[in-house]
Amino acid sequence: MVTDNSEVNVKKINHILAQYKGESNLLIQVLLELQKELRWLPKEGLIRISQELNVPLRQVYHAVTFYKAFSLVPKGKYTVTVCMGTACHVRGAPRILDRVERTLGINPGETTPDLKFSLETVNCLGCCAIGPVMVVGDVYHGKLSLDHVKLTLDSYD
């Protein structure tokens, strides 16, 4: 687990935990909140959650590694999510993913060394009409063609 003791993070962790006092069944909801706020889960956060919700750290770690939504390492400024749903698959999503990997030089789950982009895949975003789809940050780029991948990614700074 990666650590991050910065004051800002500690503050954010405390703020989130204050809303979920000791309710162990809300473990995943708390983790989601923290992930959303920091975009990853530092070790300190997990330890504090374990203490506050009275859930063994082992169990917290189990949940964090089981679900796709959580990350134990810091994420890039933009998360690039390529939809790999069935509809996107038949419309060529694997080739789009190939191209994104090649353009960014990273595989899904990884982050570029300059912490600009993180690459993720998702099983379906439910906007099949505009497939193949790639989401950068919160902007959807639909009906993507191979030669537009680089152009799209280059437009972010």
Partner 1 sequence: MPKLKSTLELEELRKGIVSRRDPNRLCFTVCSGTACLAVGSQKTYAVFEAELERQGVKDRVDLRATGCPGFCERGPIVVVYPQAVCYLHVQPDDVAEIVSQSIDGQIVERLLYVDPVTGEKIAYEPDVPFYKYQNRLILGNNRLIDATKIEDYIALGGYKALSKALFDMTPEQVMAEIEKASLRGRGGGGFSTARKWRSTRDAPGEPKYVIVNCDEGDPGAFMNRALMEGNPHSVLEGLTIGAYAIGSHEGFIYVRQEYPLAAENIAIAIKQAEDYGLLGKNILGSGFDFIVKVHKGAGAFVSGESSALMNAIEGKVGEPRPKYIHTAEKGIWDKPSCLNNVETWADVPFIINNGADWFTSIGTERSRGTKIFSLVGKVNNTGLVEVPLGTPLRDIIYRIGGGVSGNKKFKAVQTGGPSGGCIPEQYLDSPVDFDELIKLGAMMGSGGMIVTDEDTCMVDFAKYFIHFLSEESCGKCVPCREGINHMLDVLTRITEGEGQAADIQLMEDLAGMLKEASLCALGQTAANPVLTTLRYFRDEYDAHIYEKRCPAGVCKALLAFYVDPDKCQACLICARNCPVNAISGGKNLVHVIDQSKCIKCGTCLEVCPPRFGAIKKTSGKPVPAPIPEQARVIQRKG
Residues of this chain that interact with partner 1 (CB under 8 A) are 23-29, 31-32, 55, 59, 62-63, 66-70, 84-87, 89-91, 95, 98-99, 102, 122-131, 133, 140, 142, 145-147
Name the minimum Å distance from CB 78 to partner 1: 17
Our CB check for partner 1 shows the closer of 74 and 92 to be: 92
Our CB check for partner 1 shows the closer of 84 and 119 to be: 84
Our CB check for partner 1 shows the closer of 28 and 47 to be: 28
Our CB check for partner 1 shows the closer of 6 and 69 to be: 69
Name the minimum Å distance from CB 81 to partner 1: 10
* DSSP letter assigned to residue 136: E
Residue 128 CA from chain centroid, whole number: 21
* DSSP letter assigned to residue 129: G
Name the minimum Å distance from CB 34 to partner 1: 12
Name the minimum Å distance from CB 103 to partner 1: 8
Name the minimum Å distance from CB 130 to partner 1: 6
Tell me the C-alpha distance between 122 and 62, whole Å: 21
DSSP state string for 54-99: T--HHHHHHHHHHSTT--SS---SEEEEEE--HHHHHTTHHHHHHH
Q: How far is CA 47 from CA 58, 103, 124, in A?
A: 10, 37, 32
Our CB check for partner 1 shows the closer of 33 and 117 to be: 33
Would you say 30 and 23 are in contact if contact means Cβ atoms under 8 Å apart? no
